[in-house]
Amino acid sequence: MDNKMESIRAQGVLASASQGGVPALFRLSQQQNILGKMAAQVLDLLESPAADVSLTEAVDQVILNNNT
């Protein structure tokens, strides 16, 4: 199942790139990098013993911190 999902994802990336050229592919890459960093920040908050937050609170806090 994982290989099928990767194939579908790759097809989507290629379709996006073919419609918008290299800039579309670059934007997609940037978005994935940003989301990866935000996910890491959420995990850091959840694993921090000092911060007693729920998943929703951690996500909200990361979104607010990244929008300021």
pTM strictly above 0.85: no
| pLDDT at residue 60, as a whole number | 92
| pLDDT at residue 30, as a whole number | 81
Number of structural domains the chain divides into = 1
Q: Which two tokens stand for residue 31?
A: 């978005």
pLDDT one digit per residue (tens) for the chain, 68 residues:
466 666 666 666 666 555 666 666 677 778 888 888 999 999 999 998 887 888 899 899 999 988 76
| pLDDT at residue 32, as a whole number | 81
Q: 24: domain range?
A: 2-66
| pLDDT at residue 51, as a whole number | 79
